[in-house]
Chains A and B, each alone.
Chain A
Amino acid sequence: MKVLVCVKRVPMTGGRIVLTEDEQAIETKHLGFAVSPHEECGVEEAVRLVEQHGGESVVLTLGVAEAEEQLRDAMAIGIDRGIHLVTDGEEWDPEATAGAIVEAIKADEAASGPFDVIFFGNESADSGGYQVGLRAAYALGRPCATGLKSVVFEGGSARCEQEVGGGRDVYELPLPAVLTVLEGLNLPRYPSVPGRMRAGRKPLEATTPARPGSRLERSRLVVPEGDAKQAEVLGRGPEAAAAVVDLLEQIGVAS
């Protein structure tokens, strides 16, 4: 089985988002970066699939030079090789992102054969466009199911489950297919030290695509006015219990 997972490098924002002075980006000077959460589960799923069925797993990202860190993280838990579409830090809109990814997939498939499954996150943690996976699926002419919390492969098809209000909806897709996944699909493993060592030696192919103009063009970012408040301290330590229960009784949830 040949599996591709597409990931995005995003900052770990912590407690409060601070913007750069020009209001075009998050101030990331003091922040770490990670693979966007949903995609982290896509990476784990790709590794598990190849562990079960054999074959090859590949990780792809479109992002700044430093995003190699996230590709190596994915290789450290077992992905075989990486494809890096290097950008200069300008944000790519969903159409442009999907376009560049599709070109890279076509080139890779022409050289080393088709992917049976391509995983995307259902939406990225930062820009939340909810569409890159679907755009890629349409361009490749492959079926796509979104927002998946469970994927099982049997005899050339994928049984996919999506959480909905009344339970789980089940889809069955013939392969090859594009699947967009959600956190909760699995519990991603942590990389081992030998895994990290091996990751540094795995093949990584980098190209620099040109960014087309954006049709969804950001003017600026705004941190929403929170109702920043100073919490009323009900007490310190266990002595606060009576005041807490008074509060619970007052709002009618104590009985």
Chain B
Amino acid sequence: MNLVLVEHADGVATDVSLQALALAAGLGGETHALLIGPGGAGAAAGVPVVAAHVAEHDALEAFAPDAWAAILCSVADRIGATAIVAPGTPAATDAMARAAVRLGEPLAANCTVVTAGDPLTLTRVRWGGSLLEEAQLHAGRALLTVAPHAVAAVEPGAPGSVDAFTPELTEADLMVRVRDRVAPPAGGVSLSDAKVVVTGGRGVGSAEGFAVVEELAGLLGGAVGCSRAVTMSGWRPHTDQVGQTGNKIAPDIYIACGVSGATQHIAGAKGAKRILAVNTDAEAPIMLIADYAVVGDLHEVLPAISAELRRRQA
């Protein structure tokens, strides 16, 4: 029996949750789902499992990771789950790690493949996706999160039954909880949603050097990004950083200027449909993953592209 934690937003299960259901299906046996918090009952209608359990409690209006862990453990115990699977998002991963400690079990984060057996075998992501690990999980109950966008999602469908319940939560379960939400700064195109991202790396040379990057991004209605080397030099804020420890982007085209292509950076740009590299070094690692390249100095190439765009837009 598998239990899948299904996250939901705006009344529907999230894509990564439907991917978690697909991963769980690979383990065989019946699958139940757990949905927590307001909107759970509505979202459960589209979750194709034998039974969907919906935890409803006034205290669950705001995210409380220890409470989520407590609910996960109690439902897993009640239905006799031998595997618990969750989407590899920050909130679900946090709750799963807490559940793992409570159950005295290991947790395998960001799995891409699991195969039932004793021991259970799995493949999981390391280095933000630059490396995979094949491993055996020696556990009484297998706790797994699925790496986002590594597994094809199941199609939404109706559950066999929906069971809403009120979990028992202690004061300690609610000590760590979201007390407030601060709105994001207004304006600008966000890196994660941009159709065009123009990024500068160490090759830009200075904070002022980003003027040519900003100009091109502005003309294309895109967002400006940067590499870790740039952030660490203090040329751009960390909010602009693309990479394993920065933003993950998925634009139609990613224009990488003066970026060498370190694995740390590429881990954030894997979602790009096309990559155009502008680099003085035709042998730079970025050239091995780019679809298109311009060999040259970005300080000459970018102004020329901007000028050509202006000429054609006029």
Complex Cα spacing A34 to B129, Å: 19
Is A200 an interface residue when CB atoms closer than 8 A count as contact? no
In the complex, chain B residues whose CB is within 8 Å of the CB of A167:
181-184
Given contacts A131-B97, A134-B94, A183-B246, contact A238 B291 (CB under 8 A): no
Complex Cα spacing A109 to B116, Å: 43
Which residue in chain A gives the minimum CB-CB distance to B309? A245
Select which of B90, B97, B121, B262 is within 8 A of A219 by beta carbon.
B121
In the complex, chain A residues whose CB is within 8 Å of the CB of B132:
221-224
Select which of B125, B177, B178, B292 is within 8 A of A234 by beta carbon.
B292
Chain B: interface residue total (CB-CB under 8 A):
95
- Within A54-82, the residues touching B (CB, 8 Å) are none
Given contacts A134-B101, A238-B304, contact A15 B253 (CB under 8 A): no
- Within B111-147, the residues touching A (CB, 8 Å) are 119, 121, 123, 125-139, 145
Which secondary structure dominates chain A's binding surface? mixed
* Inter-chain contact B179/A135, CB cutoff 8 Å: no
Complex Cα spacing A161 to B123, Å: 32
Complex Cα spacing A143 to B66, Å: 9
* Inter-chain contact A135/B262, CB cutoff 8 Å: no
Which among A129, A162, A232, A238 has the greatest number of chain B C-beta atoms within 10 A? Answer: A238
Is B196 an interface residue when CB atoms closer than 8 A count as contact? yes
* Inter-chain contact B107/A129, CB cutoff 8 Å: yes
Given contacts A15-B263, A128-B125, A129-B109, contact A222 B134 (CB under 8 A): yes
* Inter-chain contact B131/A221, CB cutoff 8 Å: yes
In the assembled complex, the CB of B115 is this many whole angstroms from the nearest CB of chain A, namely 12
* Inter-chain contact A126/B126, CB cutoff 8 Å: yes
In the assembled complex, the CB of B244 is this many whole angstroms from the nearest CB of chain A, namely 7
Complex Cα spacing A214 to B106, Å: 9
* Inter-chain contact A245/B305, CB cutoff 8 Å: yes
Which residue in chain B gives the minimum CB-CB distance to A213? B138
* Inter-chain contact B109/A241, CB cutoff 8 Å: no
* Inter-chain contact B109/A131, CB cutoff 8 Å: yes
Given contacts A37-B245, A238-B301, contact A135 B101 (CB under 8 A): yes
Select which of B110, B289, B301 is within 8 A of A128 by beta carbon.
B110
In the complex, chain B residues whose CB is within 8 Å of the CB of A247:
253, 276, 292
* Inter-chain contact A134/B309, CB cutoff 8 Å: no
Complex Cα spacing A43 to B176, Å: 24
* Inter-chain contact B127/A128, CB cutoff 8 Å: yes
Chain A: interface residue total (CB-CB under 8 A):
83
In the complex, chain A residues whose CB is within 8 Å of the CB of B244:
37, 125
* Inter-chain contact B285/A236, CB cutoff 8 Å: no
Select which of A218, A223, A234 is within 8 A of B293 by beta carbon.
A234
In the complex, chain B residues whose CB is within 8 Å of the CB of A197:
none
Complex Cα spacing A239 to B295, Å: 10
In the assembled complex, the CB of B282 is this many whole angstroms from the nearest CB of chain A, namely 8
* Inter-chain contact B253/A253, CB cutoff 8 Å: yes
* Inter-chain contact B135/A217, CB cutoff 8 Å: yes
Told that A187-B234, A245-B308 touch, could you supply 12 new A-B pairs with CB distance under 8 A? A134-B94, A144-B176, A146-B90, A164-B91, A216-B137, A231-B290, A233-B282, A234-B276, A234-B292, A237-B301, A239-B304, A247-B253
Please list the residues of chain A having a beta carbon within 8 angstroms of any beta carbon in chain B: 13-17, 26, 37-38, 93-95, 123, 125-131, 134-135, 138-139, 143-147, 161-162, 164, 166-174, 182-184, 187-188, 214-224, 226-242, 244-245, 247-249, 251-255
Leading 8 A-B pairs by shortest Cβ distance: A15-B285, A184-B238, A238-B304, A241-B304, A231-B293, A131-B97, A237-B296, A170-B180
Pairs across A and B, CB under 8 Å, 26 listed: A15-B263, A15-B284, A95-B106, A125-B127, A127-B133, A128-B128, A129-B109, A130-B109, A130-B145, A131-B97, A131-B100, A146-B65, A168-B184, A171-B176, A183-B238, A187-B232, A217-B136, A231-B293, A233-B294, A237-B294, A238-B304, A244-B292, A244-B305, A245-B305, A247-B276, A253-B222
Please list the residues of chain B having a beta carbon within 8 angstroms of any beta carbon in chain A: 63, 65, 90-91, 93-94, 97-98, 100-102, 105-110, 119, 121, 123, 125-139, 145, 175-184, 195-196, 220-222, 228, 231-232, 234, 238-239, 241, 244-246, 252-253, 260-264, 274, 276-277, 282, 284-285, 287-297, 300-301, 303-305, 307-309, 312-313
